Every structure is written in structure tokens, then in C-alpha cells.
């Protein structure tokens, strides 16, 4: 039976809903609170088809003793949303140079689902996204990912620029994809500890994200279309990394 975790507080609950609303099984709301933030939350959870309980403050206090629940507690099935601390623990536990995928404000659930499916096929150790202005594990993401959303570790970090600095401090090389890249991705060494950093639909990498990358490279385009969809570009680069890492691990001859 899956573990049930209770999460309280407006910020934590909103983060959980962005991360993966399909894991919410029940939610308790303070029946006396009618402020704008709780009303907005009521509208959100009404679309989830989960059990919604209008409760008194004592019931909420009993659910999370000693916690500042701010009038809302939800029941979460399975692994709780993972963020900065969990990412650090995950990287500490890896026994090999990691291959990571960083998605900078990807908001289309179809793209995130496709990226997760590709990440699983390529053996990516973790997918990292910012907590804000990025899609979470919505039902559409689950459907497109075809099971990969439950397998590939996804981490939503509070500050992506700070996370990139932390990755660099760990010796992880930050490889960004951008049209203005000075070289093509074929010439990059992707055999070591690498984070492939991809930009959002249309806008690409944000300025601050680009500045934190060690290298910017482009995918050469032979046609008239200027760029590839982010999920397609992700697949191209990740499987170049797979090719290089396999050749490095098992040299021919």
C-alpha cells in the first residue's frame, strides 16, 4: 500500500498541487476562512475529484499537531514533492558521474511528458525544473510520459540559478542548448558529470540561466525552421550523451 503523507500550509500545498495534483487523495479546509487565497484553493481542488472536507480548526490541528497549517491540510499518496534538499541527497547517493536534465521554465505539459519519457530512455539520473513558472506532473504529463513520470526523479527547486551554482560546485559541467551557441553539440564532451540545460518553449534559456552555463552549444539546422521543439531537442542531445558515454565505457576493439 502506498504511503500517505499529510502536507499543511498554503505554500506547501500549492507546491504539491503544482508538482503532481494526481497524488492528492483528500484535503481539509478551514470552513471559517473565506479569504481570497482559500477561495482560490477551493476552486483548484474542486477540479481534482478528490475528497474535500470543510473542517474546523481543531480537526486541522489534530491532523498536523504543532504545525502552522494556515487552514489547509492535504493527504498525499506516495513520494512527497521533491525539492532542493532531496536533490542534494539524491546526488550524494549516486555512485557514478551523473547525467542530469535541467528544464528552464518549460510550461507545456506535453513537452514535459515527452522530456521525461526521453530522460528515462537515456538513463538520466534526475530532471530538475524551477518550482515557479513551470508545469508540474499534471494528468497530461503522466499520459504523455507513458509511465516515466513515476520512474524518473523530478526535482522542483526554489531558485534555478542557485541550483546551477550548486551543481557546478559539485563538479557537474553545465551544458546549455541555445541558438546563439558558439559551437555545435557534437563537439561537446558529455562523458563525465553533466547537466544538459534546455530552455522553455519559444523563449529558450533565460539570460541568468545562460550565464550560469559552462558552455552554450547549438543544434545545426539544415532547413528553414529556426529551432526544434524542446522535447525533440532534448532527445537529440541526450542520446548524443548516451552514445558518447557508452563508447567511453565500452571502447570498441
Return the C-alpha cell found at 66. 504543532
Question: Binding site annotation covers 6?
Answer: no
Question: Binding site annotation covers 66?
Answer: no
Tally Cβ neighbours within 10 Å of residue 27: 24
Write the DSSP string, 94-160.
-SS--EEEEESS---HHHHHHHHHHHHHHT-SEEEEESSSS--S-HHHHHHHTTGGGTS-EEEES-H
Question: Binding site annotation covers 228?
Answer: yes
Euclidean distance between CA atoms 240 and 10, whole angstroms: 42
**Are 205 and 111 in contact, with CB atoms under 8 Å apart?**
no
Binding residues: 199, 219, 228
Binding residues for S-adenosyl-L-methionine: 199, 219, 228
Amino acid at each position: 500500500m502506498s504511503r500517505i503523507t499529510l502536507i499543511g500550509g498554503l505554500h506547501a500545498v500549492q507546491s504539491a498541487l503544482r508538482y503532481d495534483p494526481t497524488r492528492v487523495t483528500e484535503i481539509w479546509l478551514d470552513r471559517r476562512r473565506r479569504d481570497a487565497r482559500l477561495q482560490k484553493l477551493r476552486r483548484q481542488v474542486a477540479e481534482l475529484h478528490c475528497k474535500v472536507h470543510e473542517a474546523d480548526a481543531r480537526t486541522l490541528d489534530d491532523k498536523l499537531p504543532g504545525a502552522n497549517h494556515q487552514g489547509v491540510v492535504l493527504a498525499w499518496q506516495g513520494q512527497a514533492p521533491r525539492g532542493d534538499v532531496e536533490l542534494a541527497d539524491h546526488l550524494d547517493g549516486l555512485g557514478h558521474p551523473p547525467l542530469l536534465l535541467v528544464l528552464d521554465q518549460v510550461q507545456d505539459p506535453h513537452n514535459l511528458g515527452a522530456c521525461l519519457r526521453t530522460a528515462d530512455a537515456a538513463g538520466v539520473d534526475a530532471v530538475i525544473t524551477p518550482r515557479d513558472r513551470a508545469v508540474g506532473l499534471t494528468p497530461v504529463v503522466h499520459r504523455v510520459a507513458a509511465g516515466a513520470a513515476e520512474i524518473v526523479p523530478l526535482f522542483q527547486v526554489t531558485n534555478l540559478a542557485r541550483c546551477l551554482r550548486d551543481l557546478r560546485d559539485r563538479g557537474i559541467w553545465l551544458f546549455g542548448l541555445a541558438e546563439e551557441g558558439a559551437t555545435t553539440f557534437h563537439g561537446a564532451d558529455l562523458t563525465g558529470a553533466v547537466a544538459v540545460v534546455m530552455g522553455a518553449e519559444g523563449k529558450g534559456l533565460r539570460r541568468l540561466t545562460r550565464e550560469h552555463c559552462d558552455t552554450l552549444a547549438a543544434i545545426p539546422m539544415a532547413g528553414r525552421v529556426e529551432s526544434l521543439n524542446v522535447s525533440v531537442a532534448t532527445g537529440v542531445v541526450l542520446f548524443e550523451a548516451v552514445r558518447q558515454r557508452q563508447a567511453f565505457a565500452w571502447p570498441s576493439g
